[in-house]
């Protein structure tokens, strides 16, 4: 995992100045790559690539970037990891005999020379890529289909910029930083900023799965988009073509592929099923498996304490285990740093930031996470609640304005006793998009006028186009399980959990790998995921059978959560101020994070927004 930057100049300029500018953008991502830095510029001065390295594979200089193809003169900067390097190497004409080192970057560079952008159609891994195709004078940009690795683009009067972080692009003169309505509205609706938007109108995310080509005139052409959900839509709904016993085998294979590295690899281990399954498979694949558990003093000895269960699993697996405890007093003074490390505002990620800090302190540079198990195997309440809500109150929707009227009436009675979302049930239930917003929404549309200027709310809602985009996500799915899986994977997980894993891990120089978030694995499991009965985590029992206690699959689900409300309560000595306002649940924290970005990232607070 690393940080990359690319600049394609479209008008005449000074090459030396471009080198300095690219280096400045690159070095704003220093935490992403503490092990090395590189810079390359073509002889014409039109293209400049920069890279910061976190050395995971091929720790020698042969793995350094930007990496130049000695045959074609093309150049690659790459962030992420490939998990099918052996297969890719074998596909080369000389089966990799001409390679100088053992990095996945070099294999990809040679594969791009031989196959061109088509190599991304089946590539297994998490990646963000900028590739200067020297013979064709084209910049090829690609991002993995799940969107695990971030990549952002900005256009200035001088050219096109790409970088791994939004805040890196904010260092570029000429980038438009005016508030992007969809970014601000999306954040308050979901607790994260949905792609392709950011908080800034001049910076966008490269879409997940997209392979884009940019020419020297600035012309942009999307070559193709690898839709991670395509296997679910294509899977036959009339029968199970994947045996239950094969599910565990495919998961085990994915974990085995994800533990390959030239540095120690650990597993974030809680008392839950997903991380325990990943840890078991990792221990079976590596003789030097390590595990790490984060304990919170406030939870010690309570039903929310993950430590006893995790330590028991680690002992059964025989891993080198570390338990790191976090007390409330440890939190004092880190809030400013935590918010500074956030690349975009998010409701979550605090837990991952702390456990990544502990991982770095223990000497780990790579950690596996159980993220993705809930999405695949129905671990969220949304797998029941969203389909029910999508089929409820459909008669109300047939009467124009009735749902809105009922919402206004009910809001008079909910007050502070219930979640404000209850009042919106008549207005939003009866559709998949509305049901999902009821489930995952932080604030709802009618509440945004208290948070943002009316003009910003209207423009942001229109640009987000949530009814169309959310309904499009579930179109073509053969089962309710597949529909919710699709929504959770490409909205909540992609824009919040995966993004949080990236910034929080990278803040401490830790690469977080997610073997259950793997496009190849999803393709293998798709026929079973759309079949009836819906899949559950019982399908993973063969992995832990005979190793971990069976009650792993029956104990109460707690989730890996920080006591956020208690430790970061707005207005407390550890939390940010919200002007004395008390909000329900995590709403106060969300408001405080947004306000902090207004102070730290040139994002305007409500009183300074247009209108």
Is pLDDT at 403 greater than 70 in this prediction?
Answer: no
CATH classification code of 240-378+481-564? 3.40.50.620
Tell me the C-alpha distance between 291 and 269, whole Å: 6
Fold for the domain defined by 2-151+206-226: 3.60.20
Determine the pLDDT at residue 406.
45
Query: What's the whole-number average pLDDT of the chain?
Result: 90
Residue 151 token pair: 């990549």
Task: Burial-class residue 468 by CB neighbours within 10 Å (0-12, 13-18, 19+).
Answer: exposed
Percent of the chain surpassing pLDDT 70: 88
Determine the pLDDT at residue 94.
86
Task: List, in sequence order, every residue forming a beta bridge with 296; answer none if it has no partner.
Answer: 326
Q: Are strands 159-163 and 290-296 parallel, antiparallel or unpaired?
A: unpaired
Is pLDDT at 155 greater than 60 in this prediction?
Answer: yes
Q: pLDDT band at 420, cuts 50/70/90?
A: low
Poorest-pLDDT segment among 238-242, 250-254, 381-385? 238-242
3-state helix, strand, coil in the chain (%, to 5): 45, 15, 40
Q: CA–CA distance from 524 to each of 77, 81, 83, 151, 374 (Å)?
A: 30, 20, 15, 27, 17
DSSP reduced 3-state for 216: coil
Instruction: Report the 10 Å Cβ neighbour count for 225.
Output: 15
Determine the pLDDT at residue 236.
82
For 257-280, write each residue's pLDDT tens digit: 999 999 999 999 999 999 999 999
Q: pLDDT band at 396, cuts 50/70/90?
A: very low
For 544-567, write each residue's pLDDT tens digit: 999 998 888 887 776 666 777 777
For 429-487, write each residue's pLDDT tens digit: 789 999 999 999 999 998 899 999 999 999 999 999 999 999 999 999 999 999 999 99
Determine the pLDDT at residue 446.
87
For 116-127, write each residue's pLDDT tens digit: 999 999 999 999
Residue 212 token pair: 């884009």
Is pLDDT at 575 greater than 90 in this prediction?
Answer: no
Region 182-205 average pLDDT:
98
Is pLDDT at 184 greater than 90 in this prediction?
Answer: yes
Determine the pLDDT at residue 605.
31
Q: What angle do CA 473, 474, 477 make, to 5 degrees?
A: 130
Is pLDDT at 128 greater than 80 in this prediction?
Answer: yes
C-alpha 293, offset from chain centre? 21
Tell me the C-alpha distance between 386 and 431, whole Å: 9
Poorest-pLDDT segment among 232-246, 371-385, 562-576? 562-576
Determine the pLDDT at residue 574.
55
Determine the pLDDT at residue 125.
98
For 61-108, write each residue's pLDDT tens digit: 999 999 999 999 999 999 999 999 999 999 998 887 789 999 999 999
Q: CA–CA distance from 366 to each of 182, 324, 338 (Å)?
A: 34, 17, 20
Is pLDDT at 204 greater than 80 in this prediction?
Answer: yes
Poorest-pLDDT segment among 192-196, 358-362, 410-414, 508-512? 410-414
For 446, list phi and psi in degrees, rounded to 5: -70, -15
Region 293-314 average pLDDT:
93
Q: pLDDT band at 419, cuts 50/70/90?
A: low
**Which sequence spans correspond to the domains of the chain?**
2-151+206-226, 240-378+481-564, 382-477
Determine the pLDDT at residue 608.
36
Determine the pLDDT at residue 606.
27
């Amino acid at each position: 995992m690393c940080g990359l930057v690319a600049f394609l100049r479209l008008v005449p300029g000074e090459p030396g100045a471009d080198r300095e500018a690219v280096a400045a953008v690159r070095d704003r991502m220093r935490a992403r790559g503490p092990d090395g830095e590189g810079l390359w510029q073509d002889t014409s001065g039109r293209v400049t690539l920069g890279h910061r390295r976190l050395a995971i594979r091929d720790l020698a200089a042969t793995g350094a970037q930007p990496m130049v193809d000695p045959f074609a003169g093309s150049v690659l900067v790459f962030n992420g990891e490939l998990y099918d390097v052996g297969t890719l190497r074998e596909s080369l004409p000389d089966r990799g005999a001409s390679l100088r080192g053992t990095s996945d970057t070099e294999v990809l560079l040679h594969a791009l020379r031989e196959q061109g952008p088509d190599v991304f159609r089946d590539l297994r891994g998490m990646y963000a890529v900028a590739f200067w195709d020297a013979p064709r004078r084209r910049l090829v940009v690609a991002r993995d289909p799940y969107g695990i690795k971030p990549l952002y683009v900005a256009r200035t009067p001088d050219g096109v910029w790409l970088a791994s972080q939004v805040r890196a692009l904010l260092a570029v003169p000429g980038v438009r930083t005016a508030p992007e309505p969809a970014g601000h509205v999306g954040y308050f609706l979901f607790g994260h900023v949905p792609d392709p938007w950011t908080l800034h109108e001049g910076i966008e995310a490269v879409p997940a799965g997209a392979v884009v080509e940019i020419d020297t005139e600035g012309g942009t052409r999307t070559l193709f988009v690898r839709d991670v959900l395509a296997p679910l839509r294509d899977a036959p709904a009339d029968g199970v073509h994947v045996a239950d016993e094969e599910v565990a085998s495919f998961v085990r294979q994915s974990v085995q592929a994800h533990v390959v590295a030239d540095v120690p690899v650990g597993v974030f281990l809680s008392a839950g099923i997903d991380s325990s399954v990943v840890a078991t498979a990792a221990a079976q694949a590596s003789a030097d498996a390590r595990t790490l558990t984060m304990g919170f003093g406030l939870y010690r000895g309570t039903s929310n304490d993950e430590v006893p269960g995790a330590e028991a699993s680690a002992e059964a697996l025989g891993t080198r285990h570390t338990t790191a405890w976090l007390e409330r007093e440890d939190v004092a003074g880190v809030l400013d740093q935590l918010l500074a490390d956030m690349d975009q505002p998010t409701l979550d990620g605090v837990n991952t930031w702390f456990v990544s800090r502990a991982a770095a302190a223990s000497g780990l540079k790579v950690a596996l996470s159980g993220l993705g198990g809930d999405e695949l195997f129905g671990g969220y309440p949304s797998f029941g609640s969203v389909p029910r809500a999508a089929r409820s109150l459909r008669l109300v929707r047939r009467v124009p304005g009735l749902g809105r009227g009922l919402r206004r009436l009910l809001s008079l009675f909910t007050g502070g006793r219930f979640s404000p979302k209850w009042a919106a049930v008549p207005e939003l239930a009866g559709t998949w998009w509305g049901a999902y917003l009821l489930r995952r929404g932080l604030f709802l549309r009618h509440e945004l006028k208290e948070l943002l200027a009316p003009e910003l709310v209207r423009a942001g809602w229109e640009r987000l186009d949530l009814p169309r985009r959310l309904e499009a996500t579930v179109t073509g799915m053969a089962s309710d399980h597949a529909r919710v899986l699709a929504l959770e994977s490409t909205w909540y997980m992609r824009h919040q959990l995966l993004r949080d894993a990236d910034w929080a891990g990278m803040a401490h120089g830790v690469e977080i790998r997610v073997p259950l978030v793997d496009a190849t694995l999803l393709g293998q499991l798709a026929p079973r995921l759309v079949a009836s009965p819906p899949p559950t985590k019982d399908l993973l029992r063969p992995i832990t059978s005979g190793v971990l206690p069976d009650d792993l699959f029956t104990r109460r689900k707690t989730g890996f959560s920080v006591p956020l409300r208690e430790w970061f309560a707005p207005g407390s000595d550890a939390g940010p101020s919200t002007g004395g306002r008390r909000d329900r649940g995590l709403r106060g924290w969300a408001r405080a994070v947004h306000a902090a970005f207004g102070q730290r990232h040139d994002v305007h607070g409500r009183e300074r927004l247009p209108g």
